[in-house]
Structures are given as C-alpha cells and as structure tokens.
Structure 1
Amino acid sequence: MNRIAWATCASVLALAAVPAASQDLPQPPKDGANSTASGGDIIVTATRSATLLSKTPIAMTAVAGDQLVQEGVANPTQLAEKVPNVSIVRNNGLQITIRGVTSTDGTEKGDPSAAFLVNGVYVARPQAQEVSFFDLERVEVLRGPQGTLYGRNTTAGLINLISARPKFDLGAQVDASYESYNHYNVTAVVNAPVVTDVLAVRLAGNFDRYDSYVKNTSGDGFSLDPYKDNKSARLSVLFKPTSDISLLLVGDYSKLKGTRIGSVPTTNFFTGAEPLTNLNATQPAQAIYNTRGASSDQLRSSNTPQLWSPYVDNTDKGIMGELNIGMGPFTLTYLGSYRESERHEHATGLGGLNRSTFDGNYWQTSHEVRLAYDHGPLKVQAGGYYFKEESGIYFFLLNPQDLGLPAVATRFGFPQDPTIASNKSAFGQASYELLPKLRLTAGVRYSSDDKSRVGATVFDTDPAAGIPGNRVTLQINNASRNFSKTTWRGGIDYDSPIGLLYASVSTGYKAGGFNDGCLAGPGAPSRCVYTVKELYYQPETLTAYEAGFKLHTADNSLRLNASVFHYDYQGLQLSQVGDFGGCGLCQLTTNAAKAKIDGVELEAYLKPANALQIEMGFNWLDARYAQYNPGRVGPKGPVSLDFNGHPLNRSPKVSGRIGATYTIDLGSAGSLVTNVMLNYSSKYYLTDLANLIDYIQPAYTKTDLSITYKAANDKYYIGAYVLNVENNVVLTNAGWGNFGRDGTVNFQDPRRFGVRAGIKF
C-alpha cells in the first residue's frame, strides 16, 4: 500500500492577556529563541504551555541543549545521571524506568510504561528512540503519570526531546568528541533565514560510532566492532507569516548500523544462578554476586561464539509538523507526524546455539488538535488525539534441531504480519486562579485502544521433505482486543514569596494486550497451551499522590526542590521469555496484582561564589510488590512464590549525586571550567521472573571529571574528560539462559577518556 503522510505544525504558543496575578510568568520563547531564562532557570512546555521550570507544578527535570553538549551527554542513557529515580538502559531498544515503573516488553506488540517523545510526538518503538539525540533545544523528563495532557503509555512519566528550531539569524556550529573505544561523535549545524523574520531553515547532521565494550574471547574470528555506527540528518523549516501564525516542519532520516553485541555470560558475575526447584520455597533463588577479583576487561569478556558475522542494518525516517494559530485569548494547535522504520539484523542467539535473522517494517502516524484559552484567572486546554502503528516482523532461528525440532527443519520462527495498534482519545484540563497566586487544576482524558495481530509460530523444512509449502505451523498467534480507560488529574499550587508549593493526585493507564501463543482446546495444535486468562493480559493502572516545593532565593544563589510521593500500582505488566508449559520459545506477559511505591526526592543548587556552583541530590525509593505470586513449572513440579514486599527491578533504595563546577575567569581570553560529579546508588534487584532468580547489582559509585576552555563569547571551546573513573561494570539486565544455555547480562558504559571541541560561526 502506498502511504503518503504530511503533517503541519508550529512552535509558537500564543498566550493572550496575562492577568496581573501572573505577571511573573514568562512569555513563550519566540521562534528560533532558546529556552533559557535568567538565574539558571529554564522555560519548559511540560504543561503544553510555556512556563518557567521553577513555577511548573510537576516533578520534572529539564536540561538545556547547550548544557548537554558541555557535559558530554551524547545519548539518552546518560540522562539517568541527571534525573532523580530514573534508569535508561539498552534492552532491545531503550528501556526507561521511572520511580520503579517500567516495561520489559520491547517487541512489536509491547508498549513502554514511560513515553518517549520528540517535539511532543510519541515514538512508539524503543529501537528508534536513540537516534534523535543531537542538536537539541532541551530535554524534559516528567516523573509520575501524565495521563491527562499526554495520555498514551505514560504510567511512569515521559521523556520529551525538543530539537533546536530554526532561528532568523545566519549561523553554523560544529561539536565533536573522541573518546575510548574509538567513539566518534560529531554534530554539524547550519541555520539560515530565507525571508527575514518570516522563513528560516536549519539543517543538522550527526555521526555517532563506537566499538563494542564487550571483548570477544571465543576465538570465533568474528569482530564485534563497531557496536554502533549511526548517521542521522534533520531538516527543520519554520514559516511565520504573522505574529499569530507559525508553522514548523521537521523531517529526519537515520541509518543505523553496527553489531549491537553488548552482553556477556551471567557467570562472569554470578555463581549459583540456577532456576528454583524447591517446591517449598517462598522466595526466589539467590544468585551470588562473585566477580572473583576480575578486572573490568575480564568482566566484559565473552567466550560465547558468534556463528556468523553479526550486523544491524536499519533505517528510521519521519516527518512532523506543528501549526499554531493565535486568535486573541485562544490558540489553536495541530500536531501531526508520520514515521517509518526498517530493521534487518543478523545475530547469534540462545547462548551461541543458533544463528538468527530479524527483518521488520514499521510505520506510525499520529494527529493531535488542541484548543487553548488563556485570559484572566482561567486557563483551559481541550483536544483530541489519534495514533496508529502497524508492523510486520519475521524472526527466525536457523538450524533449530537443538530446540527439539525434526531433522528436516531448516529454521524456526515467528512471522507476525500485521500487528496493529491504534488509540483514540479526548482530553481537557483547566486551571483557575482561585486567589492571588493560588491555582486549582483539574483534567480528564478518555482513551480507547485497539490491538490486533496476525501471526504464527512455525518451522520451515527442506524441500526434499515434501511438506506442502515447506512450512509446518506449530501454533497460531492471532489475537485482537479493545481496552479503554478514563484517567484524571487534580492539583493545587501556590506561588509563595519563596517559591512554588504544589500537591496533586493523578492517574495513569497502559493498555493490555496478548501473548505469543494460542488457546488450548479440542483440535488445537499441541503447542497451544494457554487459557483465555493466560493468552490475554489486562491494562495496568497507577494512582499517584504527590506533594512538593520548588524554593529559591531572590538572586537564585540557592534553589531547593523536593517532592514526596505514594503510588498505588495495579496490574503491573511483567514480561519474560522462555518455555512456559510447553509453548516453545515464547514471550509471556502477566499482570502482577499490586505494587506500592513511596519516595522522597531532594535537589539543591548552590552558588556560594560567582565562580563556584554546587549541585546535590538525594533520593529515597521504596518500590515493592504488594500482592504477587509468580510461579513456574520446574523439573520436580510447580513452584509458586510470595513476592509481597519484594523490590521492583532497577529501584535502588537510596541514590544521589553531588557535584561542583568551578570557573576561572581569564578576562578577554575567556574562561576555564572544571567539573566533578559523583553519583551513588545502593544495591538494586534484576529479577528473572521466568526462572525465579534474583540477581542483585551491589551498591556503586560513578565519578566524572572534566576541564574545558571556553573562548570569549563562547565562540569555541576545547576540553578533556574522564567518565566512570572507578571503571565499575554496573549491570542493567540479567537472566538465566534458555534450553540449558548460559544466561547473559548487560551493563553500563565502562571508563572512558575523551576530548571534545566545538566552534560557532
């Protein structure tokens, strides 16, 4: 089918007459202007209107694009070090965990619990979420459910990347870095006005390439390098015919290559990591963390053979647009997008057992219309949203006789085409200034989700076997379901003389879905083993209670942010891959009944002297199952455990950071900036629910150092840095292997040394 998509949009948010009680709120950033404000504050659009970060009644972190470049934050995984209670790791694409809430299903039918957006547009597939991280205006990370204004799959929160928009000035810049593991990262930007104050364009390109952190010790002769070899481009066009009308169009294209080999055997870190077999056990098996004094290089070594040369050859492209029309106190906004992705990958799966191929085609489109009213004490937003995505994927394991298939089988796999998901929703939110500087906010959203898939589990055969079509269908993976939910938010905030005080109650929702497999019953294939309750899983919902403050001194030499929260989390969707009751190699998602999450987040920013800035953060998090009894069928019979009180994954009880930046003024020669940042995390769990094994990452620290020379007026800079001085190998995923093979673990980046430089024209 020929699919043509166009979308139009704009970046200006036209706010009308601001009441006297709100005179300290900023006007929205003009098209092409940056989003920084005085005193280290930043202008954000988390509430779909322009506000100062310090006056936005949401637990959120915003980082300006220039700060990202200066601190060497070159991919989303590094954001976790700057945002409280957030983990961003690579696990079949990006896996985002916010305050203990996450999703482990990165497949074509799965949904994340934290939304990832680019310029306000939801990007559904985790594999396409890392390519947009260059030439950014800012990044906004919202913690807690955002089920009213953003809706779809924001149970945990969201990350919104806002790309730099065209300016009505001629200019160019280049930023480049080189670090350990042959990591090259180069971004080049050209900005030009075409018609003064009416039409401007901006072209940005990025090259990001580095070798694998895994050392291949198998002797198979295959290189794991480069891990990543990405080339991306983005073209933005801004049309602003009047002060009340603006249109922004953004098109992007990325070519993604590399091997993506980033895991090592579980036995590098753990002993005694075997599935639970004790029928009387009440707790999961405990893997013993034992690195036996191994070095970082040894821990990152893998003796798992590659049976052929691994590679990734993927493309990602899209267009989005935003149109804004101001009409007095009203603003009409249309936000639309269309994206396509292709994946072609070769790997070795199941612990070196089988060669595998993956081919997939994906497309998504979204359309949102909002009408905003802002006059006097009342602010109102209302709108509608439509989203649809479709994919066709073909994943096969070659030479599958080791999986118990007959000798005539040439490959075993999962052709699933098409998988379709769509969402329709309507929403509204209003804020009213009840008393001077005291505001009440209420919002509601209705969402309806449709999901379906046509697929199968099959094995193909040698033509000489004489089987019709050379294919045997083991089970049918067809399924279809509809889910709907109303989410809401209520809040109060007060802009006191010393800062903002706020409290809220909000809800989040993520649609249910279906598993790989089919229903058991008379006439069903032998591998159809599921009941209706097992084949389909239900939505997850979350109710969050939160209160906080954002305080500051008059000169902003001290800023103090704090939040305290409690979550009631229902129907957690938990996914595992394995052989569940004879289904073969399949993925099973189930709903854990309940979880409870409590936490405290504290952040402080101090400027005791003009040359010295200090930042500190402290987080306490108690994220645990409240009612969950997972089980598995072991060699001695069924095992069922009581997970009440068991910690959620990637949820350290205590974490924090402390850092300092000291600037030496060199007068007309510029300045010299030194920075040190220490991050700390207590231990956290990485539980393999398919095999009921607890893997635990011990407490660790991570220290980053940098020194940068900046020329006068920031015309150019040059610097050096070292990241993860301790060279700790910090685990992000762990699991037992399938079919008797060793499991694997993934880890954060090891120590890297680097230099970076940039220039503006």
Structure 2
Amino acid sequence: MMNTRKIAFACIASTIALAHPAFAQDAADQPNDGDIIVTANRTSSLLSKTPIAMTAVAGDDLIQSGITNPTQLEETVPNLSIVRGNGLQITIRGVTSTDGTEKGDPSAAFMVNGVYLARPQAQEVSFFDIERIEVLRGPQGTLYGRNSTAGVVNILTVQPKFEFGARADVSYGNYDALNGTVAINLPASESIAFRVAANIDRRDSYLIDGNSADGIGIGRFKDNKAVRLSALFKPTPDLSLLLVGDYSWQKGSPTNGVETSTFFSDITSGGRPTFERPTYLDPSARAGRTLLATQAQYAFRDSTDRGVMGQLDYTMGNVTLTYVGSYRESDRKEFSNVGTLPISADFYGSYWQTSQEVRLAYGGDGPLQAQVGGYYFKEKSGIAFFINNLLGANTRFGFPQDPTIAENKSVFGQATYEIAQDVKLTGGVRYSHDLKSRVGATVLDSYSSVVDSSNIGEFLDRTTFQVNDAKRNFSKVTWRAGIDYDSPLGLIYASVSTGYKAGGFNDGCEVGKGDNCALAAGDLYYQPEELTAYEAGFKFRISPEFRLNATVFHYDYKGLQLSQVSNACGGPCQVTSNAAKAKVDGVELDATIQPVDNFTVRLALNYLDARYGQFTPSYEDEDAEGGFSYVNFAGRALNRSPKWSWVAGVNYVVPVGEGRIVLDAQTAARSKYELTDLANYAYFYQPGFSKTDASITYNAPQDRFYLAAFVENLENNLVLTGATTGTLGSVTFSDPRTFGVRAGVKF
C-alpha cells in the first residue's frame, strides 16, 4: 500500500498547491455558481455531486484556453497524458496501451457523444463546436464497458437549439497555424432544429529540415477539414431524437521524430540486469527540432473519417428509455519514412465500426436511482503496411491483414439507493464477451525495382514468412461498489471498481492449425488486463470563495499488456505480452480560491506512484544457464508517469465599460518520468519540466465578440513523448513555444 509519509506530505502540501478545477460553462442551462452539469453516470448530475474522480471542461473554456486537440488536455486534467504515436496514446494514472495497430485496443475509452471510437488514429479529432469534455479517471467498466480500464474521455458536441444563433472563432499563430470554426443554429419549427459546424485546422511542421541535400523537404504537418450536421427532433417534452453526421479530411506531412542522438548520448541497449541511463543532452529548442537524417520519400497523410449516430430518449414518468446507435468508416493512406533511416514505408487501411446501446433508467424523487442496458459493438478492418528495401534491394517487407474483426456483447446494470438522509450506496455489474480474429500474413515481396512508395516496378514473387491467423474469445464480469455522503461541506465518497481489457494475439498462427504455423498458444495469444481500483475523495465547497476537492487511490493491476518491436517475424513486428503485476498509488488535490472579486487562483498538486510489481522479461545470454537471463522490473516506474505534477494559475478580470479584459496565466510542471524502450532495453527518460501559458482577452458587452493574444509553453521546452533506439529509433516531442491571436463573434 501507499507510503503513509508520502500521503501525509501530499495532504499538507494541499494547503499550498491544489489541483486544477473543472471549468464552469457559460451556457444558459448550466448553474451560475461555478458548477457544471455532466453525464458521467449516463444521467445528468452536477459535477460537484457526482461521486467520481473526473474533470469537465466547458466548450467556451476550451476556446479561451486555446485547446484545439486532445494532446492539449493533459495540462488541465490531473494525471493525464495524451501523445501522438500511431494515433493517440492515452495514459491515465499510469495506465496505458502501446498497441495502436489494427488488432490493438486502447486502455482508455475515447468517445464522441457517447459513441466509442476504437481506432487511435481516428481519435485525434479537432475540438470544434464542443459543449464540454468529460474525463473520468479510473476504471469505468460498469457503465462504459469496452476498454475503459484507465478511464474515459468523452467529447460532447453542441446540440441544436430552438432559436437562431451563429458563432465564428478563429486563431492564428506561429508555424502558420490556423484554426477556424463556423457554427450556425437553425430552428425549422417548434419541434425541429438543425445545427451545422465546420472547421479548418492547419499548421506547419515543428521540425526543421537539416538535410536539404536529400531534396525531400518537410511539408505542412496538418491540413485538416471537418464538417458536422446535427438535427434535433423534439415533438414533446418526453420524446427527443438527436441525429449527428460528420465527415473529416486529414491531410499533411506527419513526420514528427528526430534522431535519438539529438537528445541522448551514451545509450546502452540490450538485455542486462541493470538500468544504466543515457546522458540527456538538453539541446536548444532549435537544435532539438532539427531533422538531420536523409529522408527516402516525402511523407504525407491523406485520410478520411465519416460517421452517423443517433440518440433516442423517451421518458415515461420516472423511467427513461435511451437508444444510441452509430456507424463509422475510416480510410487511411500514409506514406512515411521508417524511424530516421532513408527507408520508406506506406500504409493503406479501411475500417468500419458499428455500435448499438439500449439503456433503461429509473429515477425520480425517491431513494432509488437505477439503470440497466445492453451493448453491441463490431469493428472490421483491412490493412496493408509495407516497408521498402528494409530486407534487401527491390523488396517490400509487409503485413497484409484482411480482415481483422473485433466484436463485443455486454449487459450491465447499476443502482444507487439512499439508505439514510444524504447517504447513498451504489452497486453495478457488467458482463462482457469479446471476440477477436484476424487473417493475414507477414511477407516479403520482390519487384523489378523499388525506389519508394510511389515508384514501384513489376511484381516478381512473394515469400511468406508466416501466416497470421488467430481467433480468440474472452469474457469477464466487472463491477463497482461505492458509498457517498452529501455533507454540509460537500460530497464525500469512496468506491471499489474493476476494469477489463480483452486479450489478443500476436503475428503468426498456432502450431498444427495450418501451413507455416509454428507458434505455441502461449506465444501467440496474450491474456486480458484486469484492474481493481480503490478510491476515496471529497468535493467540498467550503465557502463561495473556496472550493476544495481531493482523491486518494490505489490500483492492483494484473496482466498489464506491453507491446514492443521484435524481429520474431523475419523482420520488425510488434509483439505484445502480459507483465505479471503493477501497482498504482496516488493523491489528486484540486481547488479554486477567489480572495477578492474578479480575481481567481487555480492551484494543483498530484502525487503518482505507478510501478511494476512483478515483471521479469527474459533476454538471450550465452553465458547464462539455458541461454537466457532476466531483467527484474519490480519497483520501476511505468512509462509517462511523473511522481509529482502541479499547476498554478491566476485569472484577473478588469471591467472596461460594459465589457471586460481578462488576464490569465498558468504554469504546469511535472517531475521526471520514464520512457523505457522495451524492445531494446534502453531506459530513456524526460527530465522534470514546466510549461507556462498566458493570454489577454477583451470580451465585448454581452460577449458579442472577443479578441485575444496568447503564448503557450513560454519556456520553449521540448517535452519528450517517446524515445527508441536501434534500427527504427527516434525521439518525438510535444509542442514547442507557440503564440498568436484569436478572435470570435456570436449572435
């Protein structure tokens, strides 16, 4: 269990620095006392009365803070890291997934309007015309089910309203960064309303081309466009139907890595029982962003995402029936360079997914609140990923996989009962059944010539290293139990909950089940992740000027799924295995203080001890008995899990006539954290750092328009998000210093 001295220190420190609050929303249907209405329990409740560790950010606050994509949320949400890799990698309280392939699953459920998005590549959506974002920390297996071991990120878009309205927001900054949104709300009658919103999001690359001799260059990092059409039909107060359709185009040149030697020297790799660290070189911001490697081809992305969803709500007295259905398709085309080598690669993928959910909720003024439901999800994809000239001249080493199928069926129920005045017990359970399968191969194709992905000659022959053919079923019961007390100071709560993520399979097929099948079942398949979380906390409003929240938690984490690149397939391929155990302990504290009118202080402190409990991977060692030795990771920190993080921010409002000028500044800091490259046993790390953001905004009377200037990451720190060595090694980092202006108008 957690070290008590560390807990005591964290609690004492909370009087000095406390965590970032949830932001209040300016919408008319929201309370005006700094609280916000959320739907974390699949029913509406005040954030301050919801017994879950969560953060909610209102749409207007996203705009004012300049948060335009998921990677920027981590400075607002405690113990959250969202980085770009093969799609988004979301880490909450140290729990994450590193498998972004077509067969992998995230550990945190990413949702839009309550619809789960399975592919990490489809999750880097632009934030436009957003009502709010809810981030739930800890396993949410009962109500959210599939792959919510770490938590849930739910994006809620603005619904149509029965009055005419429109708004436009635009920002422009360095790196030729342009983000613009237009939204129009149109009531067609007293019962039908429409809303259309469109967004453009583009910027140049943060990288500097340090090798112009290759003649390739680095293009604009992103040039995305998106449109969303929503319709709301509400013929009676008890019946509503929401329909949403969206389409987006993702284009750009997404190269975002530099040579590992830019940031580290004295790199030690290879299996060994010790944990020597390399030397962190601390390059300047310009040197750290300079790509010196020779590129084999111009990298670009040309992908599309599209989908429709509908939500039907029908209230019959104290009972509400809700149906949520969706269908989505994605097409991916990406040309890239492998690591920082002059070796090119290309990826073509086609995906579709559908989900159906039915819930029946019972409420009212009585002591019982309950809901039951059923859920169905299916995803199917076909992909082809090829690396040119890696294993020889005029060859393409690759992974044609078609189809890959994932299917989930679940039933669930949860009830809350008031056993005494203001004291409630909650219990919930969910049964999940997962089916996962794939058919494909690992191959080496020969051609008359292979220059790059755009210049390929005549096909000659194919060598099949292995057939990738696997199918497996997984089932699990997850549950939640909790108690909360709505005291005179505020909500006090405690809970025990469980999370589950289905197992899967690696490349290959089981021996005896087909040609070229050579893997034992234990090497082909990996088992589910299971997590049990113990949590307690409070949400106090000590006075109108002082809000204070706190959470303490402990995780028992079994079967942690770890992915790494291996040469087990005749060339590089991803292999996933289960670490035996991990432990996570932490404290999250948050408060807002308003010592005088128009002046607000935001303070934050978070403690996180996320470490391996039992994990002893083997490595080849000719001098050892049996030819193998082991690395003991017990006690080592999980990746992207800083032990300490804090936030301090101030907001000062200066009245100017009937308008106002808002001055806002915030510094967020994190201590050192691990970036272990498991494939090569290289133990990289990110030193402690801080990021300071500041803005000045003029808001016109009645908020008709605003004008603002901003700077983000004033220190210009290049914060590492990933580091690997070897043939495919590179280092990636988050945004450097950015600055610009933004403006908006609404009526």
- TM-score, scaled relative to structure 1: 0.91
Of 303-312 and 378-387, more deviation after overlay is shown by: 303-312
Indicate yes or no: 2:739 matched with 1:753: yes
SS in 1 for 2:560: strand
Q: What is residue 426 of structure 1 aligned with on the other side? A: 411
CA distance in structure 2 between the aligned counterparts of 1:690 and 1:574, rounded to whole angstroms: 10
Q: What is residue 384 of structure 2 aligned with on the other side? A: 394
Identity of aligned residues (%): 58
- Correspondent of 2:550 among 549, 562, 571: 562
The 3 A distance-change label for structure 1 pair 522 and 506 is closer
Q: What is residue 363 of structure 1 aligned with on the other side? A: 352
1:557-605 deviations in Å (ceiling 9; x for gaps): 111000000000000000011314x642111000000001000000010
Deviation at residue 608 of structure 1 after TM alignment: 1.0
**Residues 342 and 360 of structure 1 are in contact (CA less than 8 Å); yes or no, is this contact kept in structure 2?**
yes
Indicate yes or no: 2:479 matched with 1:488: yes
- Correspondent of 2:608 among 616, 621, 632: 621
**Residues 34 and 137 of structure 1 are in contact (CA less than 8 Å); yes or no, is this contact kept in structure 2?**
no
CA distance in structure 1 between the aligned counterparts of 2:149 and 2:647, rounded to whole angstroms: 26
Q: Describe how 1:230-309 pairs up with structure 2 within 5 A.
A: 230-276=224-270, 281-291=272-282, 294-309=283-298
1:450-486 deviations in Å (ceiling 9; x for gaps): 000000011122379xx99822211101110000000
The 3 A distance-change label for structure 1 pair 583 and 399 is closer
One-letter amino acid of the structure 2 residue matched with residue 164 of structure 1: V
SS in 2 for 1:470: strand
Deviation at residue 275 of structure 1 after TM alignment: 1.5
**Residues 35 and 138 of structure 1 are in contact (CA less than 8 Å); yes or no, is this contact kept in structure 2?**
no
CA distance in structure 2 between the aligned counterparts of 1:35 and 1:364, rounded to whole angstroms: 33
One-letter amino acid of the structure 2 residue matched with residue 747 of structure 1: F
The 3 A distance-change label for structure 1 pair 680 and 314 is same
SS in 2 for 1:152: coil
CA distance in structure 1 between the aligned counterparts of 2:278 and 2:428, rounded to whole angstroms: 46
Deviation at residue 354 of structure 1 after TM alignment: 1.8
Indicate yes or no: 2:531 matched with 1:546: no
Q: Describe how 1:310-389 pairs up with structure 2 within 5 A.
A: 310-375=299-364, 376-389=366-379
Indicate yes or no: 2:424 matched with 1:446: no
Indicate yes or no: 2:695 matched with 1:706: yes
CA distance in structure 1 between the aligned counterparts of 2:145 and 2:197, rounded to whole angstroms: 30
Q: What is residue 518 of structure 1 aligned with on the other side? A: 509
SS in 2 for 1:145: coil
CA distance in structure 2 between the aligned counterparts of 1:204 and 1:523, rounded to whole angstroms: 51
The 3 A distance-change label for structure 1 pair 522 and 81 is closer
SS in 2 for 1:324: strand
Q: What is residue 534 of structure 1 aligned with on the other side? A: 523
Deviation at residue 520 of structure 1 after TM alignment: 5.7
CA distance in structure 2 between the aligned counterparts of 1:212 and 1:759, rounded to whole angstroms: 29
Deviation at residue 303 of structure 1 after TM alignment: 1.1
Q: Describe how 1:48-63 pairs up with structure 2 within 5 A.
A: 48-63=42-57
Deviation at residue 707 of structure 1 after TM alignment: 0.3
Indicate yes or no: 2:666 matched with 1:666: no
CA distance in structure 2 between the aligned counterparts of 1:33 and 1:666, rounded to whole angstroms: 23
- Correspondent of 1:84 among 72, 78, 81: 78
SS in 1 for 2:261: helix
CA distance in structure 1 between the aligned counterparts of 2:510 and 2:429, rounded to whole angstroms: 37
The 3 A distance-change label for structure 1 pair 523 and 188 is closer
CA distance in structure 2 between the aligned counterparts of 1:206 and 1:415, rounded to whole angstroms: 34
One-letter amino acid of the structure 2 residue matched with residue 650 of structure 1: R
CA distance in structure 2 between the aligned counterparts of 1:201 and 1:501, rounded to whole angstroms: 41
Indicate yes or no: 2:89 matched with 1:118: no
- Correspondent of 2:730 among 734, 738, 744: 744
Matched pairs, number:
711
One-letter amino acid of the structure 1 residue matched with residue 258 of structure 2: V
Flag structure 2 segments of 5+ consecutive residues without an equivalent. 1-23, 450-457
Q: Describe how 1:29-178 pairs up with structure 2 within 5 A.
A: 36-178=30-172
The 3 A distance-change label for structure 1 pair 337 and 658 is same
Deviation at residue 274 of structure 1 after TM alignment: 3.2
Q: What is residue 200 of structure 2 aligned with on the other side? A: 207
- TM-score, scaled relative to structure 2: 0.93
CA distance in structure 2 between the aligned counterparts of 1:463 and 1:302, rounded to whole angstroms: 31
One-letter amino acid of the structure 1 residue matched with residue 474 of structure 2: F
SS in 1 for 2:439: strand
**Residues 513 and 536 of structure 1 are in contact (CA less than 8 Å); yes or no, is this contact kept in structure 2?**
yes
Indicate yes or no: 2:210 matched with 1:217: yes
SS in 2 for 1:225: coil
SS in 2 for 1:553: strand
**Residues 68 and 126 of structure 2 are in contact (CA less than 8 Å); yes or no, is this contact kept in structure 1?**
no
Indicate yes or no: 2:709 matched with 1:716: no
The 3 A distance-change label for structure 1 pair 616 and 468 is closer
Deviation at residue 554 of structure 1 after TM alignment: 4.6
How much is the aligned-residue C-alpha RMSD, in angstroms?
A: 1.9
SS in 1 for 2:287: helix
**Residues 598 and 622 of structure 1 are in contact (CA less than 8 Å); yes or no, is this contact kept in structure 2?**
yes
**Residues 67 and 127 of structure 2 are in contact (CA less than 8 Å); yes or no, is this contact kept in structure 1?**
no
**Residues 350 and 737 of structure 1 are in contact (CA less than 8 Å); yes or no, is this contact kept in structure 2?**
no
CA distance in structure 2 between the aligned counterparts of 1:631 and 1:210, rounded to whole angstroms: 44
One-letter amino acid of the structure 2 residue matched with residue 633 of structure 1: E
1:74-119 deviations in Å (ceiling 9; x for gaps): 1111110001100011111111000000000000000000000000
Deviation at residue 634 of structure 1 after TM alignment: 6.4
**Residues 242 and 310 of structure 2 are in contact (CA less than 8 Å); yes or no, is this contact kept in structure 1?**
yes
CA distance in structure 1 between the aligned counterparts of 2:465 and 2:459, rounded to whole angstroms: 14
One-letter amino acid of the structure 1 residue matched with residue 746 of structure 2: K
- Correspondent of 2:562 among 570, 574, 579: 574
The 3 A distance-change label for structure 1 pair 316 and 634 is farther
The 3 A distance-change label for structure 1 pair 521 and 304 is farther
SS in 1 for 2:100: coil
The 3 A distance-change label for structure 1 pair 35 and 295 is farther
The 3 A distance-change label for structure 1 pair 598 and 522 is closer
CA distance in structure 2 between the aligned counterparts of 1:691 and 1:35, rounded to whole angstroms: 53
SS in 2 for 1:40: coil
Q: What is residue 605 of structure 1 aligned with on the other side? A: 592
1:158-204 deviations in Å (ceiling 9; x for gaps): 100000110111111100000111100001101110002x1100000
One-letter amino acid of the structure 1 residue matched with residue 280 of structure 2: Y
Deviation at residue 517 of structure 1 after TM alignment: 2.5
CA distance in structure 2 between the aligned counterparts of 1:131 and 1:111, rounded to whole angstroms: 18
Q: What is residue 6 of structure 2 aligned with on the other side? A: none
CA distance in structure 2 between the aligned counterparts of 1:463 and 1:685, rounded to whole angstroms: 45
Indicate yes or no: 2:577 matched with 1:587: no
1:218-277 deviations in Å (ceiling 9; x for gaps): 222223221011000000000000000000000000000001111111111111223125
CA distance in structure 2 between the aligned counterparts of 1:718 and 1:285, rounded to whole angstroms: 51
